[in-house]
Each structure stands twice: as structure tokens, then as C-alpha cells.
Amino acid sequence: MEIFAKMGRKKPMHIIKAQELSREEDDSVKLSLFDLLCIGVGCTVGSGVFVLTGDVLTVAGPSAVVSWLLAGLVCLMSGFSYMELSSRVPTSGSTYAYSYFALGEAMAMIGAVCLTLEYGISAAGVARSWSSKLIETIESYTDADLDVLHFWYTDPDTADMDAYFDVLAVVVMGLSTVVLAFGLNMGKIVINLFTVAKVCLVAFMVIAGFAAWPSTGYGTEAYSSTDEFLPYGIGGMLLGTSKLFFGFIGFDEVACLAGRANNPRKTMPLAIGGTLLLATIISGLAQASLSGMIVPCDSHPDWNEQNPDAVQCSTSPSFADAFRLIGWSWAAAIVSFGEAILLPIVVLLAFIAQPEMMAAMAVDGMLPSIFAKENSKGNLTMGTIISGTAMSIIAGCVPFDILWDMISLGVLVSFCLTNSALICTRLSGPEGNNKITGCLIFIWAASFSGEYMLWKGYFEGYFDSGVDNSTLNDAVLYGAIALIAATLLVAIGMTFMFKEVEESKAETGRVFYAPLVPLLPVVGINLNFFLMAQISWINLAYLAIVIAVSLVWYLVYGIGHSAREFDDDMPALDHTNRSSQSSQARRSSQSSQARRSSRRQSQYLAESLKAHHKDEEINESTVELAEDLEPDSK
């Protein structure tokens, strides 16, 4: 059907290159490798160190240090895909751009929804989290009652979540919008300063934590034996890995800023890989320090009686709590107020990619052109204000628990899309391959089913101390393992059945190459679905509703305004007509179609550039830029 052919339309590489060149030639703000690392580290090193390091101790104990390393490796499975695609498709949009190039328009729209959850909605969620943290910190050191800043729309005594209008969350989200609306140059200065300050705070926490070991009466004992290091066994360490994976959310955000980067083909893989490496090292050191400072009461219920001269155990482990227990109230104050002061930068960091992604969609015709309009200084002012206003409303009204699970699901689906896009880029090429598509559909279906069976049908009960393990159904476990193994066998089979397409080979030596494709991307897809399975069904239903609404928007608006709508070089639409022609006539027809297609896309690109640079005049050479980059159009 014609509508399905349109939904599968892909964005040609020569258009992407034309947009890349137009970005290189303009005088808008550029991001260096240091800028991108500050954005990546600023996004990932935040709640992971301040919150998750304490939470994971009650699940994994000191072995949480290894959990951080394993979580970093899990992220790397998908990180490799981002590193290669960010150098192959060096344009703004991240998963949206990769999906549009390799999977088609409809999948690109789904990718855009997932990125909105990761960027804009994440910023709103962090704003609410910061508001609660600030109020808690101020109230713990003063007699102030700041609950008046929360306007409950349910009974606060019976509510099981933060069901209130949050004034402070709206304020910090609004301020982030204002900073970004003034331009990326101002934004990156603020981000770099706050990120350096945050790293300095974490360095203080780590150094002071190690220095406090002798005062705790615990210290090196945390690593003295297997029983101490693994109080909850290997299972606890693996469960900790699942929790800590979300401490790396944001590492891929730098990929959405490729259009603003200096030399993105070289810079982006370094920025993504560097972010993962630095986040793993910093978080791992913080975890090692905290593990020797504090004793969780859950794993050591008799600690206080058996060690009266040592530090008391804690029911809610954290750096601030650890410093208080050993009498270092000054250090606890530095940590508490430092976190409250620096956490707002995560709001700005999470939101910074949202206008860029929406601008990329507007350039492609998937959103109104106002989101792509830049002022004379190259700032996406209107798009920033519109999206920032929407996120401020969400930050004020929607409970954090709902936001967090939706964010996590969006991130994991976007990872799966990026892994799939890399497989298609390597093995399918721009024309597509139905066999590759069939393999990916099977991998998604089998992986989703297998991982949900593995967690919901077995591991969820296995890790629940209140469930008798003898009641677990081993048949469910074996069935899940069989499905997961089938996806890996298909990936291995694809390696031998399909060769890398010529378009991909042509980039050899110019782009970063991820190892073991398609096996590692399929491993990444399985790991992502396993983590998704740990989120409630109701939130999965919420995500399905959001995706359905976005597809309705696509069918009503995007499919008719898309730049690809002007491209009549679509094999799926004119296959019947061309098949009746002689080979010579077919070549002539294809050449003519390519010229018309390239010209239409060039004209659309020129209109998009006018939207980007409304105060500049677009000359004829710019109009023909995309056509010049397409060899078949000559």
C-alpha cells in the first residue's frame, strides 16, 4: 500500500551531507570536544553519584563497585552504535536522525517521541526531584516550613506520590529555558562552569570518604571477604547492575548535538565514548569510597550491638548521612547544599538537546517550520520557548514517579532503535532489504518476549525474598533462554548471510566502526528489553499511548509535509511501472527521476535553510548544494 511505502521513506545521505555542510559554513556557536564531554558528564554524573550510590548498597553491598562497571559495559553495547552512527550521520537528531536514515519516517517519529521523553520530560522530572531535594535540605538545617510551595491536588496524607503543583520545579525549568533561549554560547559557558564544579564536589566526596574510613570502624572490612563484599550474592550484584544502568542516562545526549559540533565525524565518537568512560570511573570511585564509609542496616542488622565503638549502621545510606554518622557535620553540609545548588544544571543539560531535535524534525517537515527558525545569532529562540513552556507545565503538574518510568522506557526504546539502525546501515543500505527487516522483526519480537518471560516469569520472584523459589516455574526460564538464544543465533547467521553494502564500505577509514555487528547490537537490544521488563505494565501502556498519539500526528501532518513527500524516486511506488520498461529505458527513467528527486530535495533544503537563517539570503549555489552532492543526478 502507498501509505506504508511512505511510512518507510528514508532520508538520503546527500541531503544529510548538504545540511552538514550548511552548518559548517554558518557562524553559529560550535561545540568542542571539551564542551561535549561537559554536557555528557554533566548529564550522567549527578543523581547516579548523589542518590544511586546509596540506594544500590541495600541491594548489592560493596559489590556495587562491580555493578557500576557492568552497567557501563551494558551501556557500551548500545554506545558503540551511537559512536558509529554519530560519525556516519553527523547531524542533529540522534536516534531520530539515525532512524530516518536507516529505518524510515514512521520509526523516526517513534524515535523522536523517545528522545522527547529522554530530553524534555527528563528535564521536567529532574526539576521536580531538585525541588524536593532543596526543600528537604533547607528544612533539615532550619526551622522553615517550605511545603507551602507545594499545592496538592489530592489529600497529602493519603497520596502515594508527589501529586502536587510544584512551584520551584516550574521556576528552575523556566530559568533553564531562558538561559538556552539566549543562545548556546551562554548555555555552554554555564554548563561548563557547573559541570566542573560538580566534578569538584564529587572529588571532595570521594577523597573525604576515603579519609573517613579509619573513623568508621568499617573501611577496608567491606572488601575483606567474599561474604562482606557480596552480602546478597551474585544475584544482588546483577540486580544492582540493573539499577545502576539508569545512572548512565544522558550519555547519548551528546549525539543529538552533532549538528553543533566541530568536525562531528571525529569528535562525536570520542565524546560519546569519553562520556561513558569518565562516568564509569567517577561513579565507581564514589561507590568504592561510600561502601567503606557506611554500613547498611539491611545487610548488617546486628552491627550496632556487635560493634558499639564503630559507626552506626544506616537505613538510608548516602554520603551526607555517612558524614553525619561519623560526626563530620561540615562535610555533610557541603554535600547536601552542593547537591542542591548543582542539581539544577542537570535540568538545563537534559533540556539542551530538545530544541535541536525538534529543529531537525522541522527541517524535515515533520513539525511546523517555526521550530527550525533561528535568529541572527543562530539561536533556536522560538523553538526553545515553546518546548520549554510545555516542559515547565509538565514539571509543575506531573508526579515524578510517573515521569521517571516513562523516561526510562523512552531511553531503552531509543537504544533499541539505534542498534537496529546500525544493523540496517551496514547490511541493508538506502534501498532496504526485506530479509534484513524480517530478521529484525523476529529479533525484536523474540527478545521482547524472552526478556519479559525471564524477568516477570522468573527473576522477579527469584529476587523477592518473600517468594519461595521452589514455586518458580523452570519451564518459563528455559523458554525465555531459548528465545533469547534464538535472537543471538539469528544475529550470527546474519553475519554470514549478508555482506556489508557498498554505501557502508565507502565510509571505511572515515568513520568509527563498531565491533561485531550485528551481534553486539542484538545483545544490546536484549539487554534493553530485560531492563524494560523491570518497569510496570501500566507505564508500558502509557508509552504505547504516547507513541500512538505521535503516529496520529505523523499521519495527519508529518506524512504530507515531509521533505520526502517531494521525492518521487521511491522504488516502492513506481516498481510496477519501471518493471515493464526495457533496461535502457529504465536506466534513462531512473536517471531522470534522480535528477528531479535531487532538485526537489535541494529546493526543500533551501527552504529549510531559509527557515534556519531568515535574515540571510540563500543564493542559487546553496539551492543546488544537495544536487551537486548526488552523483546520480549528473
Spans of all domains in the chain: 2-11+33-433+498-561, 567-629
Min mean pLDDT across 185-189, 206-210, 259-263, 518-522 is at 185-189
Distance CA 409, CA 48 (A): 18
Per-residue pLDDT, averaged over 194-214, amounts to: 92
Distance CA 93, CA 96 (A): 5
Distance CA 601, CA 365 (A): 12
Min mean pLDDT across 286-290, 357-361, 428-432, 527-531 is at 428-432
516: left (phi over 0), alpha (psi -120 to 50) or beta: left
Distance CA 103, CA 420 (A): 8
For residue 101, give Cα distances in angstroms to 106, 507, 522, 585, 593.
Answer: 11, 15, 19, 29, 20
| Per-residue pLDDT band at 576 (split at 50, 70, 90) | very low
Distance CA 160, CA 186 (A): 40
pLDDT value at residue 26: 61
101 Cβ partners below 8 Å, 6+ apart?
10, 11, 13, 16, 89, 421, 425
Per-residue pLDDT, averaged over 22-45, amounts to: 79
Counts of helices then strands in the chain (DSSP H, E):
33, 2
Residue 426: pLDDT over 50: yes
First to last CA, the chain: 31
pLDDT value at residue 573: 35
575 within 8 A of 589, measured Cβ to Cβ: no
Per-residue pLDDT, averaged over 359-385, amounts to: 87
Helix (H, G, I), strand (E, B) or coil at 492: helix
Residue 516: pLDDT over 80: yes
pLDDT value at residue 631: 47
Distance CA 364, CA 367 (A): 8
The more confident residue out of 387 and 620 is 387
Min mean pLDDT across 144-148, 270-274, 479-483 is at 144-148
Q: What stretches of 164-260 show up as alpha helix (H) in DSSP?
A: 167-181, 184-216, 226-229, 233-245
Across 61-97, b (16+ Cβ under 10 Å) vs e yields bbbbbbbbbbbbebbbbbbbbbbbbbbbbbbbbbbbb
E-strand ranges in 230-324 read none
Per-residue pLDDT, averaged over 120-129, amounts to: 88
| Per-residue pLDDT band at 158 (split at 50, 70, 90) | low
pLDDT value at residue 588: 41
Q: Average per-residue pLDDT in the chain? A: 83
| Per-residue pLDDT band at 633 (split at 50, 70, 90) | very low
Q: What is the pLDDT of residues 280-295, one digit of tens each?
A: 999 999 999 999 998 8
333 within 8 A of 159, measured Cβ to Cβ: no
Min mean pLDDT across 191-195, 507-511, 561-565 is at 561-565
What pTM did the predictor assign? 0.84
For residue 359, give Cα distances in angstroms to 21, 55, 259, 370, 446.
Answer: 17, 38, 11, 8, 35
Residue 598: pLDDT over 50: no
Per-residue pLDDT, averaged over 180-199, amounts to: 80
The domain 2-11+33-433+498-561 is placed in CATH, from the list 1.10.260.40, 1.20.1740.10, 1.10.3720.10, 3.40.1640.10, at 1.20.1740.10
Across 130-149, b (16+ Cβ under 10 Å) vs e yields bbebbbebeeeeeeeeeeeb
pLDDT value at residue 465: 65
- 560 beta partners: none
